[in-house]
Amino acid sequence: MFELSRDHEDFRASVRDFAEKEISPHAADWDKAHHFPVDVVQKMGDLGLMGLTAPEEYGGADGDFVSLCIAIEELGRVDQAMGVTLEAAVGLGINPILTYGTPEQKERWLPDLVAGRTLAGFGLTEPGAGSDAGATKTRAELDGDDWVINGAKQFITNSGSEITSVVTVTARTGVSADGSKPEISAIIVPSGTPGFTAEPAYDKLGWHTSDTHPLTFTDCRVPADHLLGERGRGYAQFLSTLDDGRVAIAALAVGCLQACLEMSVEYAGQRQTFGGPIGRKQGVAFQIADLEVMLQASRMLTYRAAAMKDAMDAGAPGAPSVSEFKQAAAIAKLNATESAVTGTRIATQVFGGYGFMEEYPVARFYRDAKILEIGEGTSEVQRMLIARGLGLPVE
């Protein structure tokens, strides 16, 4: 059985205090206005949340992945959009540069990203390439000492805010040696580069506070040394990035479930019908009990997977293999996100007609939850990965 350390629990308390004071009172207003609160995002950086897993040499805390998941969960407990802002800032913005960048690339971009002064995005998804990332159409061709990029990306988080400094994009840079498949590489594109445009933000069902844009690249030139990692390894880098991201999204879903449970317990104890609180009715009480079960199971699966990653990174004796971690990440993501969608439906039902009113937070969580089953790999993709991990020849 995995249990958090005392230090982890103390850290949870500090992040919860920040979330309750700096985010919770404003979340509903930000949601209505589709406002991205740059000042609060930078306060998250001041608290050290952006640099939790980054080395001290870049201003980070050199902490563990479990701590990052705790922070995402606690932010997501009050506002899912702020939770995913942190998840994407670290998992999709900082970590690819930290993991695959050259010393020069790290020194140029990481200090500001780790401090929360700037944000980075990761441009993977395209109109015709989501789960099938190998269908990427965006192209990058070497022209002298520059990469020239043409194409489009969509649904890219933290990509068009006023503090976004860079977006890493995947692009076709050629074909494999045998010509059977495209060569996909990752390239760092600084904001403001001519030919790189963050189009107007999406009008989304949920995550209204999150910064999300489609991107276009038209003869966009960046120096050849902006290649991230090895040429032709962009697809493999993306797969590794998503493994970590699935656990982080599971943590966000755990925060959603925690919020649903707390709101439901409080409301069921106060709402009076037929001479007593609705929590006395088995029809309501049993649904809330199911919420508790889903929360506990999702939390255990999520932090088990996070602890597995930390053991792998530390090279601990008996550490799990990459394939074991991938399986654990897919299981945690599938269980937690589908539970969160079910959990928000239950919470909305507990609130009855009030659950349908935007003045109650439960409505916002209901809208925010659905994307959890889609982002960082759909539920269908997770089932495919789990089946493959069992040795089944699923396509």
Contacts of 315 (CB under 8 A, 6+ apart): none
292 in catalytic set: no
d(CA 183, CA 134): 9
Per-residue CA distances from 154 to 81, 130, 157, 215, 225 (Å): 18, 9, 9, 6, 25
Distance CA 117, CA 162 (A): 11
* Residues 220/189, Cβ–Cβ less than 8 Å: yes
Q: How far apart are CA 265 and CA 83, in angstroms?
A: 23
Distance CA 52, CA 72 (A): 11
Residues in the chain: 395
Reading the block at residue 310, the tokens are: 């930390």
For residues 229 and 237, what is the distance between their CA atoms, to the nearest angstrom? 8
Per-residue tokens: 218:
């038209």
Q: Considering the candidates 20, 376, 380, 395, report the single residue annotated as catalytic.
A: 376
Closest CA to 212 of 223, 204, 221, 220: 204
Structure tokens at 35: 């406002």
Cα separations in angstroms, 222 against 106, 126, 169: 17, 20, 12
| DSSP state at residue 331 | H
Q: How far apart are CA 143 and CA 69, in angstroms?
A: 42
Nearest to 211 by CA among 163, 270, 259: 163
Confirm if 75 and 23 have CB atoms less than 8 A apart. yes
Residue among 328, 310, 323 at smallest CA distance from 246: 328
Two tokens, residue 40: 């609060």
DSSP for residue 37: -
Instruction: Report, as residue numbers or ranges, the catalytic residues.
Output: 376
